[in-house]
Structure 1
Amino acid sequence: MLESTFTTVPKEVFERIVDGSTSKKSEYPEELRAFAMTLQFYSSKIDQDFRQLFPINADQLFLKWPKYLPKIMEYVEQQTEWRQFLHFEGEIDTGKLIISSMKNAKRTNVALQALPLLFPAGCMKGKKGPKRATTDESCRSFIRRGKIGTNLPSLLDQNTQGQPFILILGNPEQPEQAFVVVEKNVVSCKSLLQAVDVCFKVVYVLDINYAWQCQHTWDFIQKFFYRLGEGKDRETSIPTVKMFTNFLQKQNI
């Protein structure tokens, strides 16, 4: 049945989910590692394999984001000091900009980068006790910034983050390039929103954990936009994720 329904990679993922082996994923199996090595050439296969696993959920980010963007920005303004943490340049940095006057593309870029500020930074169990990430680490493990002209091979060689993350180059308000980084490989994306979609789907197709530093940000994206499960590791969401989700669900949109 699995052989006739899924390609090799989704079949492997489905079997791991059925076996209940999704809770601790620090290593890629060889088959999934080989698949990751082809990402820069076959990024459309990520979407294809995700659709085979979750056909109803595949387009939900793009369908729901435009409708909820104004309310997301309203909540970001109410709950965070995003200008202070994100260090945007130019008019945004003055604090005088009215959010509603931004063009949608810029508002999307600001809102996505501000999402980690809405939730506590992630916490990881260590040998010497729990280790909590800083706010900056949470933001950087979700979306990392770089300048135009950044040497990508050098950046990949120095990358120590095992879980996929997003990289943008240029002005963070309107980045000129967006990528998803998976180990030593990059997937080029047309926009930051597409990069979020691809990164989320890579995590699900490869069946690995979110980066622990920004795990609550991804948990929100998973629950609210894609409507998938009770958590990537079958854990219940923290109160701030539930609060934000409830705020958006109550809006008459």
Structure 2
Amino acid sequence: MEETAIHRAKWIRANGTKAVVNIMMEFPRLVDTPGMISQDFMMLQPEAPDKLTANWNTLFAPRIISLAQKEKTEITKNIDLLSADKQGEVALQLLPVLLPTGVYKVGKKMCRPSRLELSRAFIDVQPVGTNLAEYLTKAPTEYPFVLMLGDGHQCSQAFVVINGTALEHPSLLGAVDVCFKAFFVFDIAYPKVCSKVWEFIQTALFEIPGQEANEVKILRAQFNSI
């Protein structure tokens, strides 16, 4: 699989963007074998494979929490009482708070997503015991996203959902990491509803150059100044 990673990348990008379902049919090992998305990403971005998971809890999360506490959001209440790992999970959920989505256009329609819609497009938090099979029949298929079973301060299970397939990961951080990498491997544009969050993760955390909204540039400057 490692030796054929570049072949897959070229096939996916040949003749324009391909539908995820077609990519999964051609290369089913990408989603049914753990580690394949991360491995292909490493071949495409050899300088950035582990920057998020290696630095999140110790370096990135404290900065995000510091910035978010100024917003006085409920999820930061008593956050100092949590372990570093739990603070890291909360910090991931704070990214949509710091990067709200304004009005954007889809075709001729103007959209203004709520904060809940933005959060769910990035990390959809559902209660423990959610019927996963039933959930997946109604889940979005246009883009990858993270599903977390638990509450704001406690992740019981974490998944990356890609085209109706749920890939379980041992941690919320690991799921966000692989979800980001899936956008690169499958050559998928970030969904507009939460594009600023993924742009920030790309440019500020993975340090991969790319398009940035003005809000992302401002937050990145504030983030780097801490």
Q: 1:47 corresponds to which letter in structure 2?
A: S
Deviation at 1:245, TM superposition (A): 0.8
Does residue 199 of structure 1 match 2:179?
yes
**What SS class does the counterpart of residue 130 from structure 1 fall into?**
strand
- Cα distance in 2 between the residues matched to 1:35 and 1:114: 36
Deviation at 1:101, TM superposition (A): 3.4
Deviation at 1:37, TM superposition (A): 4.8
**What SS class does the counterpart of residue 146 from structure 2 fall into?**
strand
**TM-score, normalised with respect to structure 1:** 0.79
The one of 46, 57, 68 equivalent to 2:60 is 68
Distance change >3 Å, CA 152–CA 8, structure 1 → 2: farther
Partner residue in 1 for 2:50? 59
The one of 100, 106, 125 equivalent to 1:120 is 100
Partner residue in 2 for 1:234? none
- Cα distance in 2 between the residues matched to 1:244 and 1:224: 9
- Cα distance in 2 between the residues matched to 1:213 and 1:36: 28
Does residue 246 of structure 1 match 2:216?
no
**TM-score, normalised with respect to structure 2:** 0.88
The one of 172, 175, 185 equivalent to 2:155 is 175
The one of 27, 30, 39 equivalent to 1:48 is 39
Q: Which moved more, 1:137-146 or 1:124-133?
A: 124-133
* Residue deviations 1:120-140 (CA, integer Å, cap 9, x gap): 315442344421211110001
The one of 23, 27, 39 equivalent to 2:19 is 27
Distance change >3 Å, CA 189–CA 49, structure 1 → 2: same
**What SS class does the counterpart of residue 190 from structure 2 fall into?**
coil
Deviation at 1:36, TM superposition (A): 7.0
- Cα distance in 2 between the residues matched to 1:206 and 1:158: 21
Distance change >3 Å, CA 161–CA 248, structure 1 → 2: same
Does residue 214 of structure 1 match 2:194?
yes
The one of 134, 137, 146 equivalent to 2:114 is 134
Q: 2:158 corresponds to which letter in structure 1?
A: A
Deviation at 1:104, TM superposition (A): 0.8
Gaps of 5+ in 1: 232-236
**What SS class does the counterpart of residue 160 from structure 2 fall into?**
strand
**What SS class does the counterpart of residue 170 from structure 1 fall into?**
strand
Higher relative contact order (CA 8 A, sep 6+): 1
Gaps of 5+ in 2: none
Q: State the aligned residue count.
A: 223
- Cα distance in 2 between the residues matched to 1:26 and 1:49: 17
- Cα distance in 2 between the residues matched to 1:245 and 1:194: 22
**What SS class does the counterpart of residue 9 from structure 1 fall into?**
helix
CA RMSD for the aligned pairs?
A: 2.3
- Cα distance in 2 between the residues matched to 1:126 and 1:6: 33
Quick check: 1:122–1:215 contact (8 Å CA) kept in 2? Answer: no
Quick check: 1:39–1:185 contact (8 Å CA) kept in 2? Answer: no
- Cα distance in 2 between the residues matched to 1:29 and 1:175: 29
Q: Tell me which structure has the larger Cα radius of gyration.
A: 1
Deviation at 1:161, TM superposition (A): 4.2
Q: 2:43 corresponds to which letter in structure 1?
A: Q
**What SS class does the counterpart of residue 148 from structure 2 fall into?**
strand
